[in-house]
Structure 1
């Protein structure tokens, strides 16, 4: 801070009478007097102001008429006046009994413009600068704005961008500010090198980190932008990867990036030390807390002797034990794993020690960095709130939940001391990311020709954490429309409530068109972290056109007599149990996904039945180094009438969604009128299975995200409960347990637009009347 130069030339008379000696830059000392004998003025005179009111100047002084003041008061007054940002110069003089404050006002900013920018819009740059229209001009702030603009360009990979400023004075003490920007070229990452890795290849480790090598489409996802903070986060991802695969001694020796200024490219080098691979030795629980039986906690242990050491399994065990002891009335209990490493046998024995822990409470939870997601969407993922006992396990669980939402590109939770020794402040730093998706899909069949679908999905609608999806699709003879909405925290509880509105039409049958519409109401709740319960009620109304009576359309005789009324109404109550331990829902490498569902139709509507279905998929890494993933899937279902005989529309239909290579409703019993295929009649029982192996596409950079897969599908659909008398002159074929099978291959691309899949399947076991669909594809993109 500085004061006026004439403060250095204060009149000697003042110095003699008040005992004040003024030095330089606004510093004031007292000569020959103590603080108690400081000067007093009777009046404050403000000079040099034209736009700023004198009362504003006086209000920022620590000096007032009639009160004594000293050098500290003058120094503080100068600082306060400069801190307002309204003045370019401040001078304080003492003249007799008057304090003279002379100010030079900063110019007012008339306009802020950006020139030369193309990659970043004006609206984005205005958000990063502090200089504002009608604000006071400040040279220090202007220089800070220049750096902020350069940082913004570095964030999109243009670290060589340059920024200069140009000031244009205008009338009335105003000034225009122009930021002249040379965006330069993108600073790419030419290569990412790993040194010291033996167990896993460079390609596999490249999949783990978020920093990516520059490629053809890198400009779309910006993952090839070098950022030192992101590289530090990548180090943690590598540690977690190795720790979960038995390498407890793993450490990152160094990670750095070298800039080749000639080519404007970074070379990233990460040096690691893997160490030996360990398995679990003896595992046990000990407790120092009276009332907690350690033996009863043993069954909660996720870590097993002889299995590969995994830090995740240790964390899961800590969470499980912490939950149990908290429900037993010990919220402050702390679970600490103590490892005993046997270097010769390469084992780690673990003892989970339960002790009292430190008594601390959550004073408040601060949310930072969320520009779109509402605060309450983040807070509700915590099982603790202000005033609750601080529990580090619950904090880690909340962090995992926030990451699993996929609303944020980064989530970090830290702690700070509160206002009291037993108080803790939780700081939650997040960064919003795109949560919308635009998807297309389609295929070709020998009966319907080309089919296509388009859907729009938003997983964080209006920043409220709500899910909404709209889709439309169909082929030559079919149309499908769907609108879905889900509120994940219904009435403030962890209950996912939602609905699906749908309307479908199918003119592929001979002689009539089927049109269905209805609503599905859903309510779901978690039972455990991996087990989920969903209940639902679904109402469907199906109408038929082109039919007046069964007699007028003998080819429809196989369809239940309710067709004569032109409609068929079904009300279904259902529940589902879902189990999921997948490490990633988009590209799972390890884990199980399973679902069991029962549906009851009745309630006074036209259909009465009980349908039971189940499916499960298991994923396992066949080769960590080559990133080869194996998948086994099985499923089945059974439909039983609980009242009158089943309608053809109640039966189970399966096709491409279950066995690739066949069309929708492509296998199972069918109805023929002579040689004319009337359509699928459905079945009452089905089984299916899939074997699949996927790996990165050879000879293509792993950073490009291309994988190929080979698969073998098998399925059977059989049984039919339509009365033989209903068929009339028609024939039902394929009601026996006849298996179909297909083999095929496909490519999946984790593109910047979203996952894209293409496959070709060849039926190797089929019936002559089956509907075949050998080619299929699908894609989605985030927005």
Structure 2
């Protein structure tokens, strides 16, 4: 205060030690002076012929003078000095600032913020130092800034919040060193993961809470909560869940559905969240009258209307409308008509809950795509993203096509986030398409130990990369061993061969097995290139070539005792096949697949048809035609709580040129009919001691399944199922001269059972409990089996 009355001194400090909001002592001093001597403080004026700056080492004196803004000889009031002081403080370069008038000299004394020596993180276990270092803006050998340190602490806290640790606290502090240096330390208290204890819904009548929880990206905490990250609360994920709920209802005809609110309440103990979605379903609508009309002179709508594939009375779905719009637009392009827009005009029939849709062919705006800009792809090549567009630079702009391109980019699985937006170009008829992506890891390395009732203890090592070298190519290498088997393969796939929608694949495999329930071994070495391409909206055709070498060995020869026929070991059929040695098979083949599940037109299910043939005899030692068929239909019933499924599979090997089949190309249908051991059914040589499984040239299997919840909390990922299997394996073409009766007739087998499905982080497991209903005396049944659940 005395300095203020005699010399009007001002001094401020940014604080030392722990970083906290700073109260500058100068303001208290100035306010006290102003209160005690108001006339003097307001009226006092200064004029300085000289400015002296002390304490600066890194910041140039001219820079400090420019912050102060005080010119020599200029009259400065007390308020002007205060403003000069504040400008120097606001520069963020100084820990302490003093302005001391000394007659005609103004002394500016500063203490610079220290230099950061090192940055350390303490208390962190879940997030590594390397990950945290990428979040902070403070840097070693740069001036320390309290504001930046606080911002860094907030960024670290946000990162922990994203991982579900909303109670995490981060406190920055400094440790002073010599030569005006400090160590910046972020003290981290991670806290516990705050999981979602309960996901609830209000206002849902048509679908249960259990069904709606399956739609959400967010999950409730379950048994494997330490491995599953989707059960932690993330606010951004809740916004995605709201959109997923809207899409779910809209695809089922609830066009007025709204998510009115999504609230998240933190438990009093701050260890769990309770998330509640408040929804309004509205009424379900179906398609009514469907028609097409042309508003373009000379364009007949009848041809376009004939292409519409919407049945009146079908539940409304936007995907069906989009699919038909695309069909009409493609017809217009084939006719050479550009800038034709399909405008679906919807009329609501509230009484009957119908939507009458008229597809209007109208002339669209003449707007072109000027260019497509792609950002954020540091690894993925531009061409991988560009080929997801059916539109290129210079083509007419089609908003619907741009939206579909965005969906195709997201479906690649290469990006954690992908947005596609259009903005005005260089002219009124030009549009620029901006693609902004955020890449994510696309490769995985797996090391594991497995156990199976069939294969025993085994080891597995595998590597997969779905975006090899950023080219969108798939590469996979896998080696697995069992107690008596080796299975290794190399797979490569190029999804856009020659720049077209043509998938090129190459597979090489080495398989060596010691067959259970059969006293012989097999070995197969094969390579198989293939190409696949679409032939319709839901159809795809694969063409392939396969070259393999197959060998049968270690056939049990039994004991040489002609007086005891029960010691003759394996069947003569297998001995003859072993005597042939290694045979080369060279074949070409095709598979046609029709899958309505991929287009999403029926969200409750779909149909899968798969038919393929292989023709061996293009060189090599073996001649045959192999035919295989798979038909599947599934749908959801009882408010989509239960999935019912019917599957039929069949196959036939027809040998040519007098050749006979071998166990390496016959069917065993292992796993096709549950309730039986591998190689447990099919043709047998009843005169052989061990009655080896011989396989059959034909098989047919029908399976009926139903999957349903067991009433357990859905976060456990455990569901149940019932199944009924019936089928057979039959037919051999080399039964003559075996020395004993061979049963290769058509004998139906059937089984019934119960399944438990468990969705685990290591894969979906399936526990089968089966009872064989119909079987032959020599069949070998199995009550329990554990497998990896697969989908067709």
TM-score tier after normalising by the smaller chain length: 0.7 to 0.9
Question: Structure 1 residue 591: deviation in Å?
Answer: 1.6
Confirm or deny that 1:663 pairs with 2:671.
no
Confirm or deny that 1:633 pairs with 2:643.
no
Distance 1:132 1:650 in 2: 65
Given candidates 533, 537, 545, the residue that maps to 2:545 is 537
* 1:596 equivalent in structure 2: 611
* 2:772 equivalent in structure 1: 763
Indicate the larger mover: 105-114 or 247-256. Answer: 105-114
Confirm or deny that 1:526 pairs with 2:534.
yes
Given candidates 662, 679, 693, the residue that maps to 1:648 is 662
* 1:705 equivalent in structure 2: 717
Confirm or deny that 1:256 pairs with 2:263.
yes
Question: Structure 1 residue 327: deviation in Å?
Answer: 3.4
* 2:632 equivalent in structure 1: 617
Given candidates 324, 330, 350, the residue that maps to 2:331 is 324
Distance 1:171 1:658 in 2: 76
Q: Is the 8 A contact 1:550 1:556 kept in 2?
A: no
Question: Structure 1 residue 611: deviation in Å?
Answer: 1.2
* 1:156 equivalent in structure 2: 163
Confirm or deny that 1:729 pairs with 2:739.
yes
Distance 1:266 1:539 in 2: 58
* 1:189 equivalent in structure 2: 196
Q: Is the 8 A contact 1:558 1:728 kept in 2?
A: yes
Distance 1:620 1:200 in 2: 16
Distance 2:518 2:193 in 1: 60
Q: Deviations over 1:2-61 (max 9, x none)?
A: xxxxxx99xxxxxxxxxxxxxxxxxxxxxxxxxxxxxxxxxxx99998668999x89x99
SS in 2 for 1:558: helix
Confirm or deny that 1:684 pairs with 2:693.
no
* 2:591 equivalent in structure 1: 576
* 1:223 equivalent in structure 2: 230
Indicate the larger mover: 223-232 or 376-385. Answer: 376-385
Q: Deviations over 1:322-359 (max 9, x none)?
A: 33323333453322211100111111101122222231
Query: Is the alpha carbon distance of 1:767 and 1:554 closer, same or farther for their aligned partners in structure 2, counting shifts above 3 Å?
Result: closer
Q: Is the 8 A contact 1:588 1:619 kept in 2?
A: no
* 1:566 equivalent in structure 2: 581
Q: Is the 8 A contact 2:374 2:382 kept in 1?
A: no
SS in 2 for 1:689: strand
SS in 1 for 2:256: coil
Question: Structure 1 residue 506: deviation in Å?
Answer: 3.3
Distance 1:83 1:360 in 2: 50
SS in 2 for 1:322: helix
Q: Is the 8 A contact 1:85 1:136 kept in 2?
A: no
Distance 2:216 2:608 in 1: 25
Distance 2:392 2:283 in 1: 42
SS in 2 for 1:236: helix
Where in structure 2 are the equivalents of 1:209-248 lying within 5 Å? 209-248=216-255
Confirm or deny that 1:460 pairs with 2:472.
no
Q: Deviations over 1:670-716 (max 9, x none)?
A: 23444431331x32222111110001221x11232211111111222
SS in 1 for 2:620: coil
Distance 1:472 1:535 in 2: 26
Q: Is the 8 A contact 2:557 2:569 kept in 1?
A: no
Where in structure 2 are the equivalents of 1:296-315 lying within 5 Å? 296-315=303-322
Indicate the larger mover: 148-157 or 497-506. Answer: 497-506
Distance 1:548 1:450 in 2: 22
Distance 1:584 1:453 in 2: 38
**Relative contact order (C-alpha < 8 Å, sep 6+): which is higher?**
1
Q: Is the 8 A contact 1:373 1:460 kept in 2?
A: no
Question: Structure 1 residue 387: deviation in Å?
Answer: 4.1
Indicate the larger mover: 645-654 or 340-349. Answer: 645-654
Distance 2:420 2:89 in 1: 37
Query: Is the alpha carbon distance of 1:299 and 1:773 closer, same or farther for their aligned partners in structure 2, counting shifts above 3 Å?
Result: farther
Question: Structure 1 residue 551: deviation in Å?
Answer: 14
Question: Structure 1 residue 395: deviation in Å?
Answer: 2.2
Over the aligned positions, Cα root-mean-square deviation in angstroms equals 4.1
* 2:215 equivalent in structure 1: 208
Q: Deviations over 1:494-524 (max 9, x none)?
A: 3322222222223448765332212122222
Query: Is the alpha carbon distance of 1:565 and 1:167 closer, same or farther for their aligned partners in structure 2, counting shifts above 3 Å?
Result: same
Distance 1:437 1:594 in 2: 33
With the length of structure 1 as denominator, give the TM-score of the two structures: 0.80
* 1:70 equivalent in structure 2: none
* 2:346 equivalent in structure 1: 339
SS in 2 for 1:772: coil
* 1:693 equivalent in structure 2: 706
Distance 1:706 1:563 in 2: 46
* 2:104 equivalent in structure 1: none
Question: Structure 1 residue 283: deviation in Å?
Answer: 0.7
Distance 1:163 1:270 in 2: 32
Question: Structure 1 residue 120: deviation in Å?
Answer: 1.1
Query: Is the alpha carbon distance of 1:374 and 1:149 closer, same or farther for their aligned partners in structure 2, counting shifts above 3 Å?
Result: farther
- What is the aligned length? 705
SS in 1 for 2:630: strand
Confirm or deny that 1:119 pairs with 2:147.
no
Distance 2:341 2:96 in 1: 58
Q: Deviations over 1:307-326 (max 9, x none)?
A: 11112211222222233323
Q: Is the 8 A contact 2:95 2:113 kept in 1?
A: yes
Distance 2:524 2:295 in 1: 64
* 2:172 equivalent in structure 1: 165
Distance 1:437 1:200 in 2: 40
* 1:26 equivalent in structure 2: none
* 1:516 equivalent in structure 2: 524
* 2:786 equivalent in structure 1: 777
Query: Is the alpha carbon distance of 1:513 and 1:184 closer, same or farther for their aligned partners in structure 2, counting shifts above 3 Å?
Result: closer
Q: Is the 8 A contact 2:295 2:363 kept in 1?
A: yes
* 2:24 equivalent in structure 1: none
Query: Is the alpha carbon distance of 1:279 and 1:584 closer, same or farther for their aligned partners in structure 2, counting shifts above 3 Å?
Result: closer
Q: Is the 8 A contact 1:194 1:271 kept in 2?
A: yes
* 2:357 equivalent in structure 1: 350
Query: Is the alpha carbon distance of 1:295 and 1:487 closer, same or farther for their aligned partners in structure 2, counting shifts above 3 Å?
Result: same
| Larger of the two Rg values belongs to structure | 2
Query: Is the alpha carbon distance of 1:584 and 1:301 closer, same or farther for their aligned partners in structure 2, counting shifts above 3 Å?
Result: closer
Question: Structure 1 residue 377: deviation in Å?
Answer: 3.5
Where in structure 2 are the equivalents of 1:437-476 lying within 5 Å? 438=446, 443-444=452-453, 450=456, 454=460, 456=462, 458=464, 460-462=466-468, 464=470, 465-473=472-480, 476=483
Confirm or deny that 1:716 pairs with 2:742.
no
Question: Structure 1 residue 121: deviation in Å?
Answer: 1.1
Where in structure 2 are the equivalents of 1:317-466 lying within 5 Å? 317-358=324-365, 359-368=367-376, 375-421=382-428, 422-430=430-438, 432=440, 436=444, 438=446, 443-444=452-453, 450=456, 454=460, 456=462, 458=464, 460-462=466-468, 464=470, 465-466=472-473
SS in 1 for 2:618: coil
Query: Is the alpha carbon distance of 1:174 and 1:487 closer, same or farther for their aligned partners in structure 2, counting shifts above 3 Å?
Result: farther
With the length of structure 2 as denominator, give the TM-score of the two structures: 0.79
Distance 1:314 1:106 in 2: 64
Q: Is the 8 A contact 1:653 1:665 kept in 2?
A: no
Distance 1:780 1:459 in 2: 23
Distance 2:207 2:506 in 1: 45
Distance 1:415 1:454 in 2: 47
Q: Is the 8 A contact 1:620 1:629 kept in 2?
A: yes
Distance 1:54 1:658 in 2: 86
SS in 1 for 2:619: coil
Q: Is the 8 A contact 2:293 2:359 kept in 1?
A: yes
Q: Is the 8 A contact 2:373 2:432 kept in 1?
A: no
Query: Is the alpha carbon distance of 1:436 and 1:708 closer, same or farther for their aligned partners in structure 2, counting shifts above 3 Å?
Result: farther
Query: Is the alpha carbon distance of 1:449 and 1:294 closer, same or farther for their aligned partners in structure 2, counting shifts above 3 Å?
Result: same
